[in-house]
Structure 1
Amino acid sequence: MIRPRAEQAWTLAAALVAAAVCLPLLALAWAAAQGSDGLWSHVVQHVLPQATRNTLLLLGGVGVLVIALGTGSAWLVTAYAFPGRRVLAWALLLPLAVPTYIVAFAYLDLLHPLGPIQSALRDLLGIASPRDFRLPDVRSLPGAILLLGFVLYPYVYLATRAMFMTQAAGLLEAGRSLGAGRAALFFRVALPLARPAIAVGTALALLETLNDIGASEFLGVRTLTVTVYTTWVTRGDLAGAAQIALAMLVVAVALIALERHGRRRQRYAATQRPRPMQPQRLGPLGSACALALGAIPVVLGFVLPAAYLAHESWKRVSLYGGVSDQLVASAWNTVTLALVATVATLALGLLVAWALRLAQLRRRTRSSAPLRLAALGYAVPGTVLAIGLLVPLGWFDAAVGAVLEQAFGIAPRMLLMGSMAALVIAYTMRFLAISLGGVEAGLARISPSLDQAARSLGSGAAGALWRVHLPLLAPALAAAALLVFVDVMKELPATLLLRPLNVETLATWLYAEAARGTYEEGAVAALLIVAVGLLPVILLARVGARFGTARPTP
């Protein structure tokens, strides 16, 4: 058997990781309690009410839109058969490849009064002046709701379609045999069954909305996230920023509680192997309408922004014969940070998952429950995590600087805060849940008999992990590494707050270019992020294609 001391060492190391993830939240509360030199009263009276109202309205509008788009599109490609259905089923995932701030960046130019869409409409209507015809300004709260909704609906689509393809099949066929029509099947059977999946997908979409900073600022919506950033960066008020960040944390916890509430008493077990729903074949007119309806979210959420970025990037490269050295440096910084953060995140995720595995084998699940706090960072918005990290990083730099000054007579400052290490720490804490979840899923597919065989051959905990489990975990580790790498590349809020001076990533480069209105150079950075973001979408599409298909019924 694995020696108790070895298990305790793994558990202690995993507990330290979980404590490190919780530390920024404790530091956030400490910083918020320090006061803000009179600025907090101004924030409470003039800034926080509007930011809170905008945030809640944005969350409410995006929630309604992602539920409608995600659930409707999932039902469309699952319950009905029509030409183009297979392509549409994976194409509906494509908006996941485009971060929200990139979609806002693209549509600001596309929907500008002098942009291509409004210019084409005026030409079509024979109107010469923009003053005589102008679409509603996209820089508004409704504009932000629409853009974010058309990008984030795949979270609901993924979870709901999986539910429709498995658990709903038998009950839907029973309802159909009892004479229920299409509308009754959807509203009385499918929708109640899908409620847990809708709750999970909506919660993820709303957490992404709460974490957004670029799209909200580009579109002129002053949310809590934007307020935290301006309070810290513009006013230099850390305590005020921490207090607003705590308000954001309350909203995030409320969203998670709402998701739990939506899934209460909603558990469905499959006693047999899941089988896909039998889709009904549509006629020519119904097929055309279904394809058109399903294509609208794909076109608005991915095709138009991606085509715009490709066109603007081509213009930039052809006019100037390449890209700037600063953009190349930003791309190098992005890849370097993503690689280092991915390795660190995978290593720590493996450590915590293996400690949980050892506790599970010894049936000590209650004592290992606190280790799951290591996954807390993914539920915390990047802005909140970054503000919470400022205090412990400052403490660390001050303590190390004092030791080095006494020992060697040198007094370095901002050892972590002035380097990319702060970003790597933030990325690791933020996306540790992805790594932990992927490794745990891989370990769950490995039979405990292999652990017992390793013990019987005298192998310890580390030896069993290295020789037996790691080779079997290679696919799960690769998938988790891909997801973490892409998420690090797209992360904007934490990067804006913690990046060193004169260090840019592709995300911050795009943010700066959009602020200056230089869309050609920013389009190249955005296109690179989208191209990399397509990789996990392709992976998800391949998994979905293998999940199960069914022949349509007439």
Structure 2
Amino acid sequence: MHGIAIINPAFEALSTHGDSFTHIKETVLTDYVINTVLLMAAVGFLVLLIGIPLAWLIANCEFWGKRFFNWALVLPLAMPAYLVAYTYTDLLDYAGPIQITLRDWFGWTSINDYWFFDIRSLSGAAIMLSLVLYPYVYLMVRASFLEQNATLTHAARVLGKSPFKCFMQVSLPLARTAIIASCALAMMESMADFATVNYFAVSTLTTAVYDTWLGHYDLASAAKLSAIMVMGIFVLLFLEQLQKGRQKNSNDAKVSQQTLSYKLSTKQTVLAVSFCSLILFLAFIVPVVILLQYAFHYFEQSWTTEVFDFALNSAGIALITALLALVLSLILNYSYRVKPTKAQSFSLKVASSGYAIPGTVMAIGVLIPLTFLDTQINDMAVWMGLSAPGLLLSGTVIAIIFAHLVRFIAIANKTLESSYEKISPSLDMVSKTMGTNGVNLLRKVHIPLIRKSALVAALLIFVESMKELPAALLLRPFDFQTLPTYVYQFASDEQLELAALGAILIVLVGLIPLLVLNRSIDAK
């Protein structure tokens, strides 16, 4: 079912005509593609510009405040991009407090009297997305810096290289795999984003899929647009795998007994703390403060039993998704461990490809097979003389859970796969000689060794599922809300103050798993 959900958009695109697609292709498709590519490129550039310096400072430098920034710089990942976009729009828009203050100070009377950055633009969307996606680069590249052999940099220093040249010529090339992988992940997330670009009125392929499906009720044309997005995703994945194949570093880039640490001077410390503080302030503190202010002032209007119900809906879906993903991933990885055949390897790769697929595309891929199954179930019920049960799968939360499962099981697969690689095969051999096989081998040997990684994977899946908006927006049953759809409903109507409480709940849920993940990286 996982593979069917992924290839269904392409199959639907090839097998059906799509009434709106011809018109879209002749008029606005080029603009959709160009905007999507520009957005991805801008986000890729900005996350590298922010994430790499932060990763190097925290991994290889000693300065005042490092321990605080080590975990604090991860916090923006708990913020959905659309929440940051909503708060900064309220802050920077023409009717926002900053522009009002500037007009009062300088006596300006209209927008024609001065220039101000237009937050509702493609560049504004790129900045908003970069502020919440840079932690991908920060986490992965920092881990790569920590794993590098410090003797290589020490040797370069002995040869007269400055710390900056050591960074550019030694540390950076050795971290190339992590840099490209994290950048590709951020770019794929930017392609998948719907709420931010839709709120800023930036037309991308994701918004086109949503508008074509729900606006024109043309699923076939939406599938054709989705197929274009899937092709772009596979191009990114291919380029990432290509550079991995060319990476020749092996044991020379692994952890050594020596540590690499630069003690910064007072001036350098001020610059480092200022840079870290600026990023944290813009990406996390400003949005959280604005949301807390709204939540406090509008608590009576925004807090209802419905908010609690929506939180339970989101938590229930996220919990079920996390548990199912963990169990299925454990089965797949254990099966490959016991019998590493090509078929098992292929199954793992297919199961790990869903995370690259945007939520809007995944919704189409999930809806088609579930609708087919619903039709078969209803036909069978009628044939047996029973009343048709209706939309048991495609019209219930099962569709949302299935979409989340297909998309986020990749997180569990990658995490458990990495943990299994660290378990020596000799442990399996010894266990088997002592009569421990099958389920007992998994329960008594493997699970205790991968328990920490499994917990991190489950927590991350829970957070991602709690934040996921497009799939829930497209697949939710009638009159069913989750926290993201509830927040989006009010924010899209320019009523962020009423959605602030729900937004704070989303952020709070995401903080604990991120802190656990951050500590696990430092413990390596």
TM-score by length of 1: 0.89
1:469 Cα offset (Å)? 3.4
Do the aligned residues in 1 keep the contact of 2:63 with 2:269 (CA within 8 Å)?
yes
1:6 equivalent in structure 2 = none
1:166 Cα offset (Å)? 3.0
Matched letter for residue 84 of structure 2: V
The SS at the match of 1:413 is: coil
Q: Structure 1, residues 145-201: CA drift from partner, whole Å, max 9, x if none?
A: 111112211211222222223325222222222222233223233322222221011
1:493 equivalent in structure 2 = 470
Alpha-carbon distance in structure 2 between the residues aligned to 1:542 and 1:79:
17
Do the aligned residues in 1 keep the contact of 2:419 with 2:450 (CA within 8 Å)?
yes
Matched letter for residue 234 of structure 2: V
State which of 439, 450, 462 in structure 1 corresponds to 2:416.
Answer: 439
Matched letter for residue 414 of structure 2: G
Are residues 1:369 and 2:351 paired?
no
State which of 75, 96, 101 in structure 1 corresponds to 2:77.
Answer: 96
1:482 equivalent in structure 2 = 459
In percent, how many aligned pairs have the same letter?
36
Do the aligned residues in 2 keep the contact of 1:78 with 1:161 (CA within 8 Å)?
yes
Are residues 1:326 and 2:306 paired?
yes
Q: 408-417 vs 511-520, which deviates more?
A: 408-417
Do the aligned residues in 2 keep the contact of 1:228 with 1:383 (CA within 8 Å)?
yes
Q: Structure 1, residues 65-91: CA drift from partner, whole Å, max 9, x if none?
A: 111111122223334332212222322
Alpha-carbon distance in structure 1 between the residues aligned to 2:166 and 2:436:
55
Alpha-carbon distance in structure 2 between the residues aligned to 1:525 and 1:343:
24
Matched letter for residue 377 of structure 1: G
Do the aligned residues in 2 keep the contact of 1:127 with 1:133 (CA within 8 Å)?
no
Are residues 1:518 and 2:495 paired?
yes
Do the aligned residues in 1 keep the contact of 2:148 with 2:255 (CA within 8 Å)?
no
Do the aligned residues in 2 keep the contact of 1:165 with 1:275 (CA within 8 Å)?
no
Do the aligned residues in 2 keep the contact of 1:168 with 1:193 (CA within 8 Å)?
no
Matched letter for residue 438 of structure 1: T
2:272 equivalent in structure 1 = 290
Do the aligned residues in 1 keep the contact of 2:149 with 2:256 (CA within 8 Å)?
no
Structure 1 residues 192, 213: CA separation in 2 closer, same or farther (over 3 Å shift)? Answer: same
State which of 384, 389, 392 in structure 1 corresponds to 2:369.
Answer: 392
Matched letter for residue 151 of structure 1: V
1:115 Cα offset (Å)? 2.0
Are residues 1:530 and 2:507 paired?
yes
Alpha-carbon distance in structure 2 between the residues aligned to 1:174 and 1:450:
37
TM-score by length of 2: 0.93
1:214 Cα offset (Å)? 0.8
1:457 Cα offset (Å)? 5.1
The SS at the match of 1:474 is: helix
Do the aligned residues in 2 keep the contact of 1:99 with 1:490 (CA within 8 Å)?
yes
Matched letter for residue 370 of structure 1: F
1:216 Cα offset (Å)? 0.9
State which of 285, 300, 323 in structure 2 corresponds to 1:343.
Answer: 323
Matched letter for residue 270 of structure 1: N
1:181 equivalent in structure 2 = 162
1:449 Cα offset (Å)? 4.4
Q: 523-532 vs 534-543, which deviates more?
A: 534-543
Query: Could you say what the CA RMSD is over the residues aligned between the two structures, in angstroms?
Result: 2.2
2:339 equivalent in structure 1 = 359
Do the aligned residues in 1 keep the contact of 2:19 with 2:218 (CA within 8 Å)?
no
Structure 1 residues 163, 456: CA separation in 2 closer, same or farther (over 3 Å shift)? Answer: closer
1:458 Cα offset (Å)? 4.7
Structure 1 residues 112, 273: CA separation in 2 closer, same or farther (over 3 Å shift)? Answer: closer
1:380 Cα offset (Å)? 1.6
Do the aligned residues in 1 keep the contact of 2:152 with 2:170 (CA within 8 Å)?
yes
Structure 1 segment 38-117 matched on structure 2, within 5 A: 38-117=19-98
Alpha-carbon distance in structure 1 between the residues aligned to 2:365 and 2:487:
25
State which of 212, 219, 239 in structure 2 corresponds to 1:258.
Answer: 239
Matched letter for residue 209 of structure 2: V
Do the aligned residues in 2 keep the contact of 1:212 with 1:225 (CA within 8 Å)?
yes
Matched letter for residue 315 of structure 1: H
State which of 237, 243, 246 in structure 1 corresponds to 2:224.
Answer: 243
Structure 1 segment 127-166 matched on structure 2, within 5 A: 127=107, 129=109, 131=111, 132-133=113-114, 135-166=116-147
Structure 1 residues 442, 175: CA separation in 2 closer, same or farther (over 3 Å shift)? Answer: closer
Do the aligned residues in 2 keep the contact of 1:113 with 1:134 (CA within 8 Å)?
no
1:238 Cα offset (Å)? 0.8
Matched letter for residue 478 of structure 1: L
Matched letter for residue 196 of structure 2: A
1:277 Cα offset (Å)? 4.5
Structure 1 residues 385, 37: CA separation in 2 closer, same or farther (over 3 Å shift)? Answer: closer
Structure 1 residues 147, 28: CA separation in 2 closer, same or farther (over 3 Å shift)? Answer: same
Matched letter for residue 37 of structure 2: L
State which of 229, 243, 249 in structure 1 corresponds to 2:210.
Answer: 229
Name structure 2 gaps, 5 residues minimum.
none
Alpha-carbon distance in structure 2 between the residues aligned to 1:181 and 1:487:
41
Alpha-carbon distance in structure 1 between the residues aligned to 2:149 and 2:426:
34
Alpha-carbon distance in structure 1 between the residues aligned to 2:477 and 2:59:
48
1:16 equivalent in structure 2 = none
1:203 equivalent in structure 2 = 184
1:268 equivalent in structure 2 = 249
Alpha-carbon distance in structure 2 between the residues aligned to 1:315 and 1:343:
37
Alpha-carbon distance in structure 1 between the residues aligned to 2:429 and 2:260:
43
The SS at the match of 2:481 is: coil
Q: 40-49 vs 453-462, which deviates more?
A: 453-462
Name structure 1 gaps, 5 residues minimum.
1-19, 548-554
Are residues 1:35 and 2:12 paired?
no
The SS at the match of 1:153 is: helix
Do the aligned residues in 1 keep the contact of 2:469 with 2:484 (CA within 8 Å)?
yes
State which of 186, 189, 198 in structure 2 corresponds to 1:217.
Answer: 198
